[in-house]
Chain A
Amino acid sequence: MQERELRDLIADVKTGRLSRRSFVQQMIAVGLTAPMAGMMLAQSGVAMAQTTFPYKPTKAGGGGLLKLLYWQAVTLLNPHFAIGTKDQEGSRIFYEPLAGWDAEGNLVPALAAEIPSKENDGLAEDGRSVVWKLKRGVKWHDGKPFTADDVVFTWEYARNPETAAVSIASYKDVKVEKIDDFTVRVVFAKPTPYWADAFVGNYGPILPKHVFADYIGSKSREAPANLKPVGTGAYMFVDFKPGDMVLAKRNPDYHVPNRPQFDTLEVKGGGDAVSAARAVLQTGEYDYAWNMQVEDEILLRLEAAGKGKVTITPSGNVEFIQLNATDPWTEVDGERASVKTKHPLFSDPAVRQAIGLLIDRTSIEKFIYGRTGTATANFLNNPERFRSKNTKFEFNIEKANAILEAAGWKKGADGIRAKDGKALKFVYQTSINAPRQKTQAIIKQACQKAGIDVELKSVVASVFFSSDTANPDTYPHFYCDAQMYNTTMPQPDPQLFMNQYVSWQIANKENKWQGRNICRWQNKEYDELYKQAEQELDAVKRAAMYIKLNDMVVGDNYIQPIAARSRVSAVKGGVTAHFSGWDNDLWQLANWYREA
């Protein structure tokens, strides 16, 4: 998709010929995120929609107890220490950021009075700063007022490496200034097109200065408030047992009128995903269950009990296969898969193309992921296809055979193709997880029919996803021909996501396999364009660049997307919850309600 096409689409949104929703969907289809699409529209003069959440209760309180079930228990309640989503969710009950992202890429203010824009002079023309106006009259749970000092403090707290905050990346390269008690300015070191990072979403919650002031830096671990949060959220802290449960009660001074409805809140943790689904969908013991990593078949069966339903929220996660660009079986300078080598089979583009044709995405969706993972057009480079409703994935064994035949890979007596004495055999690894093993089997079978011999390997998840530098079976080592996992987009801005393919990020022995380019694909043109995109201020031009970057990677067939995996949660009947794939599940907890 070129810049001009994007501009045409945006013009369509402006005149109302194209709905905001379908524009966002098209952007997701070409690999961009909803928040990014929203920013593009905002910069082109299509104002962010004022998202309103349906909320029926007419007064705060009176809703009784809301019971949430997390099969991975919350272990800490400081949003800036929250490693996994479970801890982010737990913290989000008490703390709020300036704004959050809704499903269609709108920024929704929480502690901000309004969303910065060019019209309200919030965004500087040169892209070097953004001014946030803060909501007035907000009180911390201990009664102290919320002011700009708290926002500035949060920045100081998170950017300090000694604090060891996991949110540091959002704060270390910016400067935050207080203009007055209810206005702050975020100043960027260089022109920054994506300004809504610090103080927004998962890593954005504001901490109270008067509570955390003495615990900045190396003393951060000792703060009593790490376990007894004092926030601005709709619910106040009652009790917390790490790894077990969180109890909260309604905040009577909440800054949004008539909210929240529930008087008390209980978050229970532990157990497994299937029984958590059961507790909501089948027995109705709980009102909500988080992250239902359960086969769709089981979810459908549990839903049949009629006590609750499954909510599926699209997000940026993609299950995909990487083909190794380097040779994992030859050791050079003490490491395998060194960039000095080339993969003996995959360096032939015909082989990569054939493998792309041998992935039966439709069956994988139909028989494995069901509603929770749709076969994806994501990352693919033909825009016309996305506009058509009947996108078909090429799964074509004959075509794959023909391509291999034409490229000189001839079948031997054992039915396995070979060329120049190299047999078409490769090892394909992934983590141990039932849907993944089934996917492996489907692909192996198709490859067999095309004369490719695939050896399957599965590694325990705790090893596969670890950063252990000594273990050759981790995914960053990628000492294997092909591997499959799920990439998550932890940030709505694709900049960090796309650096997975720049040459300076290649994972190797030197950087202890911390580099993010795991498939070791290199392309000069890509590197150049990536650097340009980092500087580009025009949101539309920038989006066009990212689409092009995506196309380069996928067009080269080293990356094979399989399914877009959605966030799945279970909600009991009668309860209305509001989710967004670009923020925490509890981001709109204040607006949840129950109807009798």
Chain B
Amino acid sequence: MGKYILRRLTIALPSLLGISVILFVLLALAPGDPFGELATNSNIPPEVAAALRVKFGIDDPIYIRYLRWLAAMLQGDWGFSFASRIDVDQLILQRVPTTLFVVGSSQILALAVALPVGVYAAMRPYSIFDQIANTFAFVGFSLPTFFTGLLLILVFSVNLGWLPFVYRADIAATGWQWAWEYFKQAIMPISVLGLFQAASYTRYVRSAVLDVIRLDYVTTARSKGLNEGKVVIKHVVRNALIPVVTLVALQMPAVFGGAIVTEQIFRIPGIGSLLISAILANDTPVIMAVTFVFACLVVLFNLLADIIYGWLDPRISYR
């Protein structure tokens, strides 16, 4: 087991290095640079714009810039944002709590909806409940989040005036008042993200349960006279959830990476909106750091998913 993890980690290193090279080169080749706005501002003499470029090392060849970035990264220095002139790690850390809260809760909501609905639908395949659940699942993952987001804003903020559509990370209130305000502003983004995710999870849970529920050992359990609840929870769901757990583990990087579109619509100060504003401002160090962290998380959670899989299903062995 230990050997296996070690081997996976050694394989992960070169792939992360490769990812970083690709990201860096792509960003370097992309059009636009962080000082575009300076060039159009007649108040800034060209010498100053040029001095800034030299100071931030933008005019050096790509490979030198890459090596400089890599050396700094290995020492834990993530560079600093050209736009706000502060360290990138600080910028990212500020965004983590909000992202974790919003995307994390939406994942919990997704599971809370998908598990019971999926299991129940699979227990009675092709019943009315199953048909309805299926229809909603299809509609749910066919509608993009930017559409449902705007729709909810239109209904609940503009027409009914119940909920605010601008998310504020700092609410100037305490106690219940604070919690209520927070709940009110979070309810729309969390349900948009959560229900979208729930739709696809439901389909997975249903098919996984369907695969298991017809197996012989389930029939055996039933014929022993166990009641239906025990059969489903102890015997069916336990085995059916193995692929679902993997799926959820693979979704975990997204919890840290944020949800770009939804964050933009509701002005949630998460990592997704940091990434998009960095891209719009050509703030290369921030784009590089966010995408690279994301890549690391994907690699890490892939490994984690594989390990969990083996732990849940002893038939799988690591070699």
Contacts and interface: CB of A to CB of B under 8 A. Distances in A.
A471 B277 contact: no
A496 interface: yes
A241 B169 contact: yes
Contact of B84 (A243, A275, A283): A243
Contacts, number: 159
A117 to B, nearest CB: 25
B49 A514 contact: yes
A199 to B, nearest CB: 15
Interface in B1-51: 31-33, 35-51
A511 B46 CA distance: 9
Contact of B269 (A75, A244, A471): A244
A586 B55 CA distance: 31
Nearest to A161: B51
B81 interface: yes
A243 B277 contact: yes
A226 B280 contact: no
Interface stretch (A31-39, A120-128, A165-173, A550-558): A165-173
A374 to B, nearest CB: 23
B303 to A, nearest CB: 32
A247 B168 CA distance: 11
Interface string A166-190: 1111101000000000000000000
B44 A514 contact: no
B91 A242 contact: yes
B157 interface: yes
- Which among B47, B166, B273 has the greatest number of chain A C-beta atoms within 10 A? B166
Contacts of B165: 275, 279, 283, 285
Contacts of B50: 514
Given A75-B83, A76-B83, A278-B158, A169 B172 contact: no
A152 to B, nearest CB: 21
Interface string B168-202: 11101000000000000000000000000000000
A168 B48 contact: yes
Interface stretch (A380-388, A409-417, A462-470): A462-470
A462 B273 contact: no
Contact of B161 (A81, A241, A283, A476): A283
Nearest to B269: A244
Interface in A507-525: 511, 514-516
B269 A241 contact: yes
Interface in B136-175: 153, 157-158, 161, 164-166, 168-170, 172
A465 B86 contact: no
15 contacts: A69-B166, A83-B41, A84-B37, A166-B44, A167-B43, A168-B44, A172-B45, A242-B81, A245-B170, A266-B168, A268-B168, A282-B158, A283-B161, A462-B32, A491-B42
Interface of B: 31-33, 35-52, 55, 80-81, 83-86, 91, 94, 153, 157-158, 161, 164-166, 168-170, 172, 264-265, 267, 269, 273-274, 277, 280-282
Closest 7 CB pairs of A and B: A467-B39, A244-B269, A466-B36, A75-B84, A242-B84, A514-B46, A466-B32
